[in-house]
Amino acid sequence: MEYERERAQMILDLMRMGIRDERVLAAMAKVPRERFVREEDQDVAYGDHALGIAEGQTISQPFVVARMTELLEVGPDHHVLEVGTGSGYQAAVLGELARDVVSVERHAVLAERARELLADNGYENVRVIAADASAGYPADAPYDRILVTAASPGISPDLVQQLAPGGRIVAPVGNEEMQHLVVRYPDGRETRHGAVKFVPLRGRAGFHY
């Protein structure tokens, strides 16, 4: 019950911070965030801050998860690619909104842990792949929506090629110290939506190996 109260408070806080998409708020009201953080962090799982996870990675603060998901505009019939699974929390949120989700993670340990958590929590429409996430996952392309959850030097041409007509990409773009949330629209236009700080995207289409 304590986590349910904290989750409800998180939703109220997100609304106060400007999140308006009712489907995003409903999705985040359902996902048990406390199960996706380290055991020692469960008592602060719903605070609006990032938390460390294994392999030097992080689980993003709730506002950033909500804002990125809102910008992505995921529909119930969408086939979604997530670049960087991490804890699996963002994938679970996407799983509440999309038809299905393919999430790619370069760290095999994180991929396996997220795969178990998502299965245990009933997200049968989310598939986790252990691979170089920076280049996406061409085998299941095209995707209606692509979400990048690590700092990127730019929107990779590899990802653009995997996007379905009319699709969009949301990614944190900048240098390794600071980024802005960028939305790439179907016409190739890009818009920026606030400063963020993510761990860097590693791999062929990221900063470096």
Catalytic residue list: 60
**169-173 long-range CB contacts below 8 Å, 24 or more apart?**
169/145, 170/68, 170/71, 170/72, 170/145, 170/146, 171/83, 171/146, 171/147, 172/148, 172/196, 172/198
Number of Cα atoms under 13 Å in the Cβ half of residue 14:
30
Q: How many residues does the chain have?
A: 209
d(CA 91, CA 82): 7
Enter the tokens of residue 116. 């178990």
